[in-house]
């Protein structure tokens, strides 16, 4: 599995379990698998939906700030990679 860095976590909201992510390169689509890595973070998750300003979107590109529901806790500064099948 190839991994490509696409962004980093800016903020984490515990109650709805949502990560705010800044896309720094490439693009992210609904249905993609992403990997979160950081000092104490290391897990993969599937993107079922994402939002910009409370509006659902299908694709995020470089420069976007998005919100995505995550399965586990993430921390500001954690890196986000999209996992591409080989």
Q: What is the pLDDT of residues 3-60, one digit of tens each?
A: 999 999 999 999 999 999 999 999 999 999 999 999 999 999 999 999 999 999 999 9
Distance between CA atoms of residues 81 and 37, nearest Å: 8
- Domain spans in the chain, listed from the N-terminal domain onward: 2-84
> How wide is the angle at C-alpha 1 spanned by C-alphas 44 and 26, nearest 5°?
75
Query: Superfamily for 2-84?
Result: Translation factors (2.40.30.10)
| pLDDT of res. 34 | 97
pLDDT tens digits for range 44-80: 999 999 999 999 999 999 999 999 999 999 999 999 9
pTM score, whole prediction = 0.93
> Where are the extended beta strands (E) located within the chain?
2-13, 18-23, 27-29, 33-37, 42-46, 50-52, 55-57, 59-61, 65-69, 79-84
């Amino acid at each position: 599995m190839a991994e490509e860095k696409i962004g980093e976590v800016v903020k984490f909201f515990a109650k709805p379990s949502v990560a705010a992510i800044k896309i720094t390169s490439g693009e992210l689509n609904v249905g993609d698998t992403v990997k979160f890595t950081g000092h104490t973070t290391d897990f993969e998750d599937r993107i079922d939906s994402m939002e910009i300003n409370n509006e659902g979107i299908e694709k995020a590109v470089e420069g976007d700030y998005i919100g995505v529901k995550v399965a586990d806790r993430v921390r500001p500064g954690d890196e986000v990679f999209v996992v591409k099948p080989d």
